[in-house]
Amino acid sequence: MTSTEKDRENFLPGMKPVLELLEREPERVDMVYVRRGRAGAESSRLLDLCRERGVRFSLVGDDALSRMAAHAGHQGVIARLREASFMPWEDFLAQAANAPLPLMVALDQVQDPGNVGTLARTLFAMGGAGLILPRHNSAFLGPGARRSAAGALERLPITQVVNLSRAVKEARDAGFVTCAAQKVDDSMNPLTEKLPLPALLVLGNEDKGVRPGVLKHCECSLCIPFRRDFDSLNVAQAGAILISCFARSLEI
């Protein structure tokens, strides 16, 4: 099976099946694509359900729908399904301190599924408490993420939150030291300093970094020192180093 064919397994075409899924299990829907200009009572009901259930939707051209649906009849509507199951935030936070490595990793608008999958694989292997993803503007946890995770996405606790800034604050209030990966004057050197645990580590988008609204709830900053003049590491590489540094702190 090709990568394109695997991706198509995550699409549900057709007005009636998408409506039924939004009514019964909206948490399984990542995005709904609707033909631009489609009118009628069913279309209005579908868009109303998306708004009521907090499901993202996008108005697209018929050519885009045809590519997603291949030869299946889509009737102007296709839902993209989630593959990973999400733990409720309250349950996730309650169990995080009991992980072998009491470290939660929050991904602030990380878009690349491969990076998310690789981070899940690293965090699971090191005994981490799990991943926190914002509900909007996060990578789709479909085939690309699953291939990179090599089975970790099905075993690692993952939660999805509407407001990442609020979640970081709630973790801090619950006794977790909140840290952001960023370079500032008072950044800690994770290679030489013992890192605090239990902790929450925020990794940001490669272009924009961690957003200011999230940073305001972070108590410390971590920056990996480079030995050569080099631009940057991608989020999966930097995250793997920082997760390892937290794991090392258990042994010090």
Closest-CA residue to 14 (of 36, 41, 42, 37): 42
In tens, the pLDDT along 113-159 reads: 999 999 999 999 999 999 999 988 888 777 678 778 887 887 899 99
pTM of the model: 0.72
Q: From residue 122, how far is each of 59, 118, 125, 151, 159 by CA, in Å?
A: 36, 6, 5, 11, 17
Q: What is the residue-averaged pLDDT of the chain?
A: 89
In tens, the pLDDT along 34-65 reads: 999 888 899 999 999 999 999 999 999 988 89
**Sheet-wide strand order for 77-81:** 11-13, 77-81, 29-35, 56-60
In tens, the pLDDT along 182-197 reads: 999 899 999 999 999 9
The structural domains of the chain, ordered by start, are 3-81 (3.30.1330.30), 89-249 (3.40.1280.10)
* The pLDDT of residue 241 is above 90: yes
CA distance from start to end of the chain: 47
**Residue 92, H or E segment:** helix 89-96
Q: DSSP for 22-35?
A: HHH-GGGEEEEEEE
* The pLDDT of residue 3 is above 60: no
Q: 3-state class of 200 per DSSP? A: strand
In tens, the pLDDT along 79-95 reads: 988 766 789 999 999 99
Q: From residue 174, how far is each of 18, 94, 216 by CA, in Å?
A: 39, 9, 16
Strand pairing category for 77-81 and 11-13 = antiparallel
Cα 163 to the chain's mean position, in Å?
A: 13
| pLDDT value at residue 122 | 97
